[in-house]
């Protein structure tokens, strides 16, 4: 028996689930496939900074995890060992907050509770796939049983791609070590982005804690993972400086960092969204926010333009500026800031100073962080 569906989404991460929810009231039959049970997402250690624009997309879907988010009211940007700093303040944009920090698991939980149970095939993996004139035929293995499906549109939302000739890769030779720490005094809803020669260090307010993204070269990340708690807080303190005292570090995890950019977003009846389309460096928290816009815009395309390959190709063309903008923005920051070259340190200091003294420049950067390319020009 082959089950026919209009849209099959592979990957029930936050981007795949958002797409399924955005399509839920439309005319199409939609299935989500994940190789793990949804409950496995409770083990993801990441905290995500969501922009105000992300809130505007998630709220109408009933998937805004209001009780689990911590607002960011100001963002302090500086560099270690150099002058210049900039402060972005929510009050300048008449917004309740510049963004919000939430644990991946709480966001995934808020999305999952809105999904109809029958829409998700858990513990299921694609074994075979054939693309034809009318769509894509797939054989899945679910809990050891084979299952056949035919989809008019196949959406890839399975996260960061493995080796693939159609995905360009820039390895940053940096790893993100993440953990939660208690700040003294409290965080006052301020986030910090501190650039160091090793890589950016981000502190995101989360509940009473700071969620830390401590970026380091791989060998230093090895050593930092192996430190005891006192050693870890000392290393963090050395990188950040003395303005805030850190204590009580929670469990640590690490993620190797690279830019992965898929050349073609759409190919016949298939289309790619979220990390499967582009995986960015976490600096300035762009990845999920961009993936969310992928999902939202794809849903609008499918609902308004139908399921034919031409609609997918048009969607791919419309997403170009936003995704390339996100990739260039994060890549440019990482490369300009992750070094200790004195002329560049001077230029960075002048840049941060200009950002602070020149409101139009600051607003230009802030608006793109809040709304992405929707704020263009």
Ligand X SMILES: Cc1cc2nc3c(=O)[nH]c(=O)nc-3n(C[C@H](O)[C@H](O)[C@H](O)COP(=O)(O)OP(=O)(O)OC[C@H]3O[C@@H](n4cnc5c(N)ncnc54)[C@H](O)[C@@H]3O)c2cc1C
CA 157 – CA 163 distance, rounded (Å) = 16
- We find the least distance from the C-beta atom of residue 37 to ligand X, in angstroms, to be 9
Given 285, 326, 351, 372, the residue binding ligand X (CB under 6 A): 285
Binding flag, residue 200, ligand X (CB under 6 A): no
CA 216 – CA 230 distance, rounded (Å) = 18
Name which of 73 and 158 has its Cβ closer to ligand X. Answer: 158
Binding flag, residue 288, ligand X (CB under 6 A): yes
- We find the least distance from the C-beta atom of residue 9 to ligand X, in angstroms, to be 9
Give the count of residues interacting with ligand X (CB under 6 A).
33
Token pair of 107 as six digits: 């966001």
Closest CA to 199 of 234, 224, 181: 224
Q: Exposure string (b/e) for 339-374, b if CB count within 10 Å is 16 or more? A: beeeebbeebbebbeebbeeeeebbeebebbbbbbe
- Report the number of secondary-structure helices (H) and strands (E) in the chain: 9, 20
Binding flag, residue 351, ligand X (CB under 6 A): no
- We find the least distance from the C-beta atom of residue 360 to ligand X, in angstroms, to be 25
Binding flag, residue 35, ligand X (CB under 6 A): yes
CB 40 within 8 A of CB 82: no
Name which of 35 and 269 has its Cβ closer to ligand X. Answer: 35
Q: Which residues sit opposite 87 in a β-bridge?
A: 76
- We find the least distance from the C-beta atom of residue 35 to ligand X, in angstroms, to be 4
Binding mask 296-335 for ligand X (x = CB under 6 A): ----------------------------------------
Binding flag, residue 107, ligand X (CB under 6 A): no
- We find the least distance from the C-beta atom of residue 99 to ligand X, in angstroms, to be 8
- We find the least distance from the C-beta atom of residue 345 to ligand X, in angstroms, to be 25
CA 347 – CA 183 distance, rounded (Å) = 31
Q: Which residue is nearest to ligand X (CB)?
A: 13
Ranges within 48-87 binding ligand X (CB under 6 A): 48-49
Q: Which residues sit opposite 177 in a β-bridge?
A: 214, 254
Binding flag, residue 250, ligand X (CB under 6 A): no
Name which of 10 and 311 has its Cβ closer to ligand X. Answer: 10
- We find the least distance from the C-beta atom of residue 291 to ligand X, in angstroms, to be 5
Task: From 111-119, 218-226, 270-278, 299-307, give the range in contact with ligand X by CB under 6 A.
Answer: 270-278
Cα 14–16–165 angle (5° rounding)? 110
DSSP string, 258-327: EEEEES-SEETTEEE-GGGTEE---TTS-HHHHHHHHHHHHHHHHHHH-SSHHHHHHHHHHHHHHHHHHH
H or E stretch including 144? none
Task: Note the residues at the interface with ligand X (CB under 6 A).
Answer: 10-16, 33-36, 46, 48-49, 125-126, 157-159, 176, 178, 213, 255, 274-276, 282, 285-289, 291
């Amino acid at each position: 028996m082959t089950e026919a569906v209009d849209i099959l989404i592979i990957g029930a991460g936050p981007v795949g689930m958002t797409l399924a929810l955005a399509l839920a009231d439309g005319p199409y039959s939609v299935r989500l496939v994940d190789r793990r049970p949804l409950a496995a997402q409770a083990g993801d250690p990441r905290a995500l900074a969501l922009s105000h624009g992300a809130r505007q997309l998630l709220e109408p879907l009933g998937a805004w995890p209001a009780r689990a988010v911590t607002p960011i009211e100001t963002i302090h940007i500086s560099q270690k060992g150099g002058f210049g700093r900039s402060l972005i303040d929510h009050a300048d944009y008449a917004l309740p907050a510049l963004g919000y920090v939430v644990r991946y698991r709480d966001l995934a939980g808020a999305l999952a509770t809105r999904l109809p149970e029958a829409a998700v095939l858990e513990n299921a993996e694609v074994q075979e796939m054939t693309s034809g004139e009318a769509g894509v035929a797939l054989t899945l293995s679910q809990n050891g049983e084979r299952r056949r499906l035919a989809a008019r549109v196949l959406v890839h939302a399975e996260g960061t791609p493995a080796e693939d000739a159609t995905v360009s890769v820039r390895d940053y030779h940096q790893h993100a070590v993440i953990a939660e720490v208690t700040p003294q005094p409290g965080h006052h809803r301020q986030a910090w982005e501190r650039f160091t020669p090793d890589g950016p260090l981000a502190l995101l307010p989360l509940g009473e804690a700071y969620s830390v993204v401590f970026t380091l070269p791989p060998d230093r990340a090895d050593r930092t993972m192996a430190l005891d708690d006192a050693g870890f807080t000392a290393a963090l303190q050395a990188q950040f400086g003395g303005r805030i005292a850190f204590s009580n570090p929670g469990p640590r995890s690490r993620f190797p960092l690279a830019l992965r950019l898929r050349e073609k977003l759409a190919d016949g009846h298939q289309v790619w969204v979220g990390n499967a389309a582009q995986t960015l460096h976490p600096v300035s928290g762009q990845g999920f926010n961009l993936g969310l816009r992928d999902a939202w815009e794809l849903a609008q395309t499918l609902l308004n333009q139908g399921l034919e390959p031409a609609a997918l190709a048009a969607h791919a063309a419309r997403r170009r500026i936003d995704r390339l903008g996100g990739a260039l923005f994060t890549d440019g920051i990482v490369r300009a800031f992750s070094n200790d070259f004195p002329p560049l340190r001077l230029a960075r200091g002048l840049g941060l100073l200009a950002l602070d003294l020149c409101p139009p420049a600051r607003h230009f950067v802030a608006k793109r962080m809040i709304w992405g390319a929707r704020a263009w020009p």
